[in-house]
Structure 1
Amino acid sequence: MTEPVPILMYHSIARSPNDATRALSVSPEAFAEQMALLDDRGFTPLDTARLASSWRSGGPLPARPVLITFDDGYEGVHLHGLPALAKYGFASTLFVSTGWIRGASDTGGGLDVMLGWDQVRRLAGEQMEIGGHSHTHPQLDQIADDALWFELLRCKEIIADELGARPVSFAYPYGYSSPRVRRTVREAGFAQSLAVGNGLSRRRQGPYALQRVTVRRTTGIEEFERLVEGRAITRTFARDRALTKGYAMVRRARQVRRKAIRSRV
């Protein structure tokens, strides 16, 4: 039986985040302290592809594996995250919403200052796997099939064009998915995908529903240690789970209502 693995979900790293990203940002000092703790406790950071490959093949994992992941593509990952990761030689994964990355394919919509493709290329050269996070960051389970395919294939195409390699890992925007979304992600050529769930990742979750734990601006170092050690996760995220469950019911009701309206047109 395989041991559960903590997958940490970060967003922005910033000293002065804006209102849109504040709750899910961490300060550069906090991030550096968290990376130092991982090193001190003997954790071995992996990228997403390595974990999924090991679980598929039944191959061994290194001692105390952990995943460090970033969503969206904020510039602070390069400015503040990379120095701390490079100090310890840590691997990680960055999931980019390609329409938010500064450059020719920028559609706008980024919530703060976003990375440019030159910065993404540098990160890719520093043990950071670059994965997909859709093109424009919609709630994938709320959009039609043609829009879903566009979000996945356009994201994959841009990353391949910019980096010279197709992404193999994906993370659902907002953590939302459904059987249809997971099936389409697989058919689009992604080998694994991450949700949220705020629980430890386990092999039995399957490669397209691996859970992560959220690291926030309010996550102190003692709480962070409990998260990576797998202690008191259920209690830490009890309120989140209740809110998520309630919101999921609201979203399902909206989806049913939209389908009913479309069927009458």
Structure 2
Amino acid sequence: MKLVNTFVALDGRNEVDLERPRNLVDLDRVVSRARSGTEPRWTSRVAKGVKALSYSVGLHLASRPMAEGNAAILFYHKVQRRQVGVWGEPVLDVREFERHVIFLAREYQPVLLSELVAGLSGRARLPRRAVALTFDDGYRNNLHLVAPILARHGVPATFFVTTGLIGTEGWMWAYELEDLFSRYPPEQVCRASGDPAIMRLGLLGLSPRVLMMACVEYLKELPHGVMLDVVERLRVAFPIPVDDENRFLSWDEVRELSHHGFEIGAHTRNHSILTRLSLDEVDRELRACRDTLEEELGVRPMLFAYPNGATNPAVTALASRYFEAAVTTQSGLCSPASGLLELPRIGAPVQVSELAFELTWRYLRTQASRFALAP
């Protein structure tokens, strides 16, 4: 039987209405996505081994002469001191991140995102093998853990900050949910949410990690106000103080990053998934974020990152009113043919061997496509 939950806002109130469906969330698809992201199959393990072997024998060097006209934008969120996350899974700790930086500085040409955009738009020469490092959300460890490593190796970066969270003691709700599910019985968490779909997910016998990811995927599909109501109910039931791994920058710390030559971009005011808002709400999120950054830093930001990478033609059109370029989480390389308001990025929180393989594979595939299209 297909699991479908119907959620609707009635008269400004967040309620469940089975009679007048407006927003259908396919729970089967939500669970499938959660499983694919948390339960690696044996093929994934084999692929990881192949990537490690290819890196050790230097296969990534094959793309060196074939990178003309392309550039890569990498995206991270945070780097932490410990080697594992709350679920015992490897995460990008400071040592692995430094391996990334050393590899990128040796094999590529790290540039600021604004320099890469200038090259793509034809205003400047696009450096060969250009790569731009970007960090989303605005975590405090971006200054205290990430920036010293970047500075030590002379690698620039762009940090996209969520202005409404800067200087607060709040959580990014998805990380908060992860911590919450690791501390309390999952069934208890699902019941406390007060959300029928989450309670239904809690009865499916999923592992705690898959259940947590399914809840995150489900909440991302709800209208922003509905999602916030569910998260707030959980915060009241299970108050968890934010830890150093998840704390946001202060405005003084944002200014310090800028003072050290790093680039600051916009990431909305509240980290709302823009495709879940009305266009008036999107406009307010973009304008307020841009204006706050200009007021706090004394310079108007020209770069923007869509929260969760989510956009559509109407949202992109609004972004073009306020910013010169914007990045998504759509995976791929950039070229002069890329739309500046929907630039792809490659998720980089992986081992350096996997990052090297991903970049090499994409460069080689792009060049192969060019040769195939050549007369």
Q: Deviations over 1:3-61 (max 9, x none)?
A: 221111000111247659x98952111111110111222x2211221111222225312
User: Alpha-carbon deviations, 1:189-237, whole Å to 9, x = none?
Assistant: 2000001111112222210011001122xx1121111233344999xxx
| 1:47-62 alignment, distance < 5 Å | 47-57=112-122, 59-62=124-127
Match of 1:124 among 258, 261, 270: 258
Tell me how large the CA RMSD over aligned residues is. 2.5
Question: Quick one: distance in 2 between partners of 1:76 and 1:147?
Answer: 30
Partner of 1:248: none
Q: Does residue 1:170 correspond to 2:315, yes or no?
A: no
Q: Which moved more, 1:172-181 or 1:48-57?
A: 48-57
5+ residue gaps, structure 2: 1-66, 176-245, 366-375
Equivalent residue, structure 2, for 1:68: 133
Give the alignment partner of residue 34 of structure 1, picking from 100, 103, 109.
100
* 1:227 corresponding residue in structure 2: 358
* 1:89-132 Cα shifts (integer Å, max 9, x gaps): 21111001111111xxx494435211111111111122311000
The structure with the greater share of residues assigned to helix is: 2
- For the residue of structure 2 that corresponds to 1:200, the secondary structure is coil
What is the CA–CA distance in structure 1 between the aligned matches of 2:297 and 2:132, rounded to whole Å?
Answer: 22
Q: Which residue of 2 aligns with 1:158?
A: 292
Higher Rg of the two aligned structures: 2
Identical residues among aligned pairs (%): 29
Aligned: 1:141 with 2:207:
no
Number of residue pairs aligned between Structure 1 and Structure 2: 226
SS in 2 for 1:211: coil
Among 77, 98, 102, which residue is 1:11 paired with? 77
Give me the whole-angstrom Cα distance separating, in 2, the residues matched to 1:156 and 1:24. 35
What is the rounded CA distance, in whole Å, between the counterparts of 1:24 and 1:75 in structure 2?
A: 21
Instruction: Structure 1 unaligned segments of length 5 or more: list them.
Output: 235-265
Task: Name the counterpart of 2:334.
Answer: 201
Equivalent residue letter for 1:136: N
Tell me, yes or no, if structure 1 residue 91 matches structure 2 residue 156.
yes
Structure 2 contact 76–135 (Cα < 8 Å) conserved? yes
Secondary structure at the counterpart of residue 341 of structure 2: coil
Hey, what's the Cα distance between the residues in 1 that align with 2:136 and 2:91?
11
Question: 1 CA distance for matches of 2:331 and 2:307?
Answer: 15
**Residue type of the alignment partner of 2:161:** V
Provide closer, same or farther for how the CA distance between residues 65 and 116 of structure 1 changes in structure 2, counting only shifts above 3 A.
Answer: same
Deviations 1:144-192 (A, max 9, x none): 12211111011111111111111000000000000001000111x2000
SS at match of 1:69: strand
Distance 1:233 1:180, change over 3 A: farther
The more displaced of 169-178 and 45-54 is 45-54
Q: Is contact 2:70-2:130 (8 Å) kept? A: no
